[in-house]
Amino acid sequence: MKKIIVIILILNAVLYAKPTMSQKNYDLLMSAEKLIELDEVKKAKEILNKLVLSKNDYAKSYAYQYLANLSLQTADYNKTKTYYETIIKLAALDENNIDRIKFSLSKIYLSLEEYDKCIILSKELLNNKNDLTLDLYESLIYAYYYKKEFKKSIVYSKKYNALSKEKKENIYQMLYSSHIELKKYAQAITTLNTMVKKWTQKQNYWLQLISLYQETKQYKKALATIELSYKEKILDPKKNTQFYVNLLLQNDLFQKGSLAIEQGINKGYIKKDARSFELLISAYLSAKEVDKAIKKLSTSKFAKTNKYKKILANLHYNNHHYKSTIKVLKSIAQKTKKEFDADVHILFALCYFELEDIKNTTLHLKKVYHSKKKKRAVEIAKVLQIKL
């Protein structure tokens, strides 16, 4: 389709060109046109290269137009640039055609990362009366963005959106990215809200919006957005369960969070590993679901470390299950024979005191007394009215 459009444009140009050049040059252009249609590009180029040696600037300009289109088809942008620049220097074509060539050249500059040239040419064209305003704004949006002049890119994005009858996705993408680069998160959120409404099925826009709410600590909005995306069946819960859990916990919805973790693990959405176990225990404790925490700490393979055993021992103690506490503490002491843990022995002493075993209470307090936590042992002994 692109090739057909190029041929039609050239044909119209050549028809207009007939009165401006000799019949011979015109016939040569038509021959080149025919050869291009037959895909005999090499022969067509031979004719066109002869024409660019003509003394007639009109003939030269149209020949260069053909050559430019042929080089575009092979993505040889440097050659295309040279041809367009030559046409502009010849200045043989009418103003409207020259403007079109300049516009095409500005796009080539953009492709070749010659952003300053693209900007200069685009602004020059904006001062002329033509129907290219939106296209020129688009070039300026990209050129300034890639130059990292994000404020100017935003200016032209807003001008584009104000003038355009319909929202164009790539323009909004550039506007959003510019706000992010400038750390203008409130404006980025506003832009993303427009994008999720217009391009509702684009999952990445929803995820970016949720992440921005999270980044700016607007946790309620982040949670509401992800739940809306689930309701509208846009985001896949299977892929985003961990994200959802984090938002629940950030909103202090610990019970709901722990339930989401359980379901995620059971369905295979969340990996059953030490990290998810730690998150689940934390959620249980924050939700004051002590029984669930005790059950999980008593049975899980991830609860065999002293860190979790200490948590379990304290939970048993707070529930007045002193014998269960002592049992857990003994398993800790068995593992740490060479390393004295004063906190373990303090808990031992408190449990034995509750069980009215003063002998063992005193024994463990004395051990603490001869450690770095001597002051703590003295305080407890004083409260319990025990002599050390």
Query: 213 and 206 in contact (C-beta within 8 Å)?
Result: no
Question: What average pLDDT does range 238-264 have in this prediction?
Answer: 95
> What are the DSSP E strand ranges found in the chain?
none
Q: Which two tokens stand for residue 120?
A: 């200069």
Answer whether 328's CB lies under 8 Å from 315's CB. no
Residue 388 lies in a domain: yes
Residue 215: inside a domain: no
How much is the pLDDT for 87? 94
Report yes or no: 166 and 132 within 8 Å, Cβ to Cβ: no
Helix (H) or strand (E) holding 262: helix 254-267
Q: Tell me, what DSSP letter sits at residue 40? A: -
- Residue 384 structural domain: 316-388
Evaluate whether residue 127 is within a structural domain. Answer: no
Is the pLDDT reported for residue 9 higher than 90?
Answer: no
Q: Is residue 171 part of a domain?
A: no
Instruction: Specify the pLDDT at position 337.
Output: 67
pLDDT (mean) for 184-207: 97
Helix orientation angle between 290-299 and 274-286, rounded to the nearest 10 degrees: 150
End-to-end CA distance of the chain: 96
Is the pLDDT assigned to residue 12 strictly greater than 50?
A: no
Higher pLDDT, 143 or 54: 143
Residue 238 lies in a domain: no
The amino acid that residue 211 corresponds to is S
Report in angstroms the alpha-carbon separations of 358 from 325, 352, 374, 384, 387.
Answer: 17, 7, 19, 10, 10
Q: What is the pLDDT of residue 10?
A: 41
Q: How confident is the model at residue 130 (pLDDT cuts 50, 70, 90)?
A: confident
Rounded distance between C-alpha atoms, residue 203 and residue 20, angstroms: 56
Residue 19: pLDDT above 80? no
pLDDT beyond 60 at 365: yes
Query: Is 187 among the domain residues?
Result: no
Average pLDDT over every residue of 331-356:
89
pTM: 0.80
Using a 10 angstrom Cβ sphere, with 0-12 exposed, 13-18 middle and 19 or more buried, the burial of residue 60 is buried
Helix (H, G, I), strand (E, B) or coil at 320: coil
Map residue 210 onto helix, strand or coil. helix
3, two tokens = 């090739």
Instruction: Please check whether residue 120 lies inside any domain of the structure.
Output: no
User: Would you say the C-alpha torsion 110, 116, 117, 123 has a positive or negative sign?
Assistant: positive
Distance CA 366, CA 345 (A): 9
Model pLDDT for residues 60-114, shown as the tens digit of each residue:
999 999 999 999 988 999 999 999 999 999 999 888 889 999 999 999 999 999 9
Tell the residue number behind the tokens 């003939």, with chain if given: 59
Q: How many domains does the chain have?
A: 1
Check whether 16 has a pLDDT greater than 90: no
- pLDDT category of residue 375 using cuts at 50, 70 and 90: very high
> Nearest CA to 103 among 129, 73, 124?
124
| Domain-embedded: residue 382 | yes
- In this prediction, residue 8 carries a pLDDT of 32
